[in-house]
Amino acid sequence: MTVKGRVVMVTGASSGIGEATARLLAERGATVICTSEREPDLKRVTDSIRDAGGNAVPVVVDFSKPEAVDGLIEKLETNVGPIDVLINNAGVGMRAQVTERPFADTRFVLEVNFFAVASLCSQLLPRMYSRNSGRIINVSSAAGQFGCAGMSAYSASKGAIHAYSQAVRVEALAHNVYISEVVPISVRTAFFQNVRGKTYKPLGIVLTVESVAKCIVNCAERNKPAAEVWPYFWIRMVFILNAFFPGLFVKLNFRTFKRNLNEHGESIK
């Protein structure tokens, strides 16, 4: 499998992981449909890809609005061609304790991070089934497998992506369609400055966008893509241990939570 000559859709391609992934895909010869709600940034990315000899198609779409997502796949396949690979990367963060933000913010995070993904999958999968081929790569987060205190809505949205990917993966195999999940930890990106609620300074190991993008594209090009891809392997060992010692990890999570609050000059609400 190679992405050369194939149509690949990347959501959230105007910055961060999405931008790095779109650039790498274009370098390897793919036609990249780049989507984002931030039109100026999206134009910058797609113009840069084209200037370098790549093929990029900018599509402005706000994934927080269901009406903007409905029918999107049909429109894109009509105008660009059949989508061989979908990379669901678009996402928003929210760092806040439950008592600090209105519930509408939680709904907003779930709309962008999960419901938009589920909508795109439900639109595209019947088309991939009829072609008996296709790949979907959902970018989730380690926070979706062990909820982070102070980031409950974000953790819940990524946890939903994890369970959804697990379930749909089995259904899709009967049609030669592969569903993969990429599970990064903190990544060095402006994502943490654009969250709802309060900004977040990631602690500990922080990955680069290029390293995560390479994992995503390599997954897309495997003959049989892995079910889960962990850009930082050792964090997976932590979650395996959590299955055996959940009480211990509640204590560790609480310590991390307090450390994060101290780093940001905040207190428990």
Answer yes or no: are the C-beta atoms of 164 and 182 closer than 8 Å. Answer: no
Strand pairing partners for 35?
11, 59
End-to-end C-alpha distance for the chain, whole angstroms: 51
Rounded to whole angstroms, the Cα distance separating 125 from 91 reads 21
* Residue 73 CB burial class (10 angstroms; 0-12, 13-18, ≥19): buried
At 223, list the tokens.
């003959």
Distance CA 144, CA 146 (A): 6
Residue from 154, 164, 178, 232 carrying the catalytic annotation: 154
Measured CA to CA, the distance from residue 25 to residue 32 in angstroms comes to 7
3-state secondary structure at position 69? helix
CA 194 – CA 196 distance, rounded (Å):
7
- Which has the closest alpha carbon to 61: 12, 125, 114? 12
| Cα 135 from Cα 83, distance rounded (Å) | 9
The answer to whether 159 and 98 have CB atoms below 8 angstroms apart is: no
154 is catalytic: yes
Helix, strand or coil, per DSSP, at residue 146: coil
The catalytic residue positions are 154
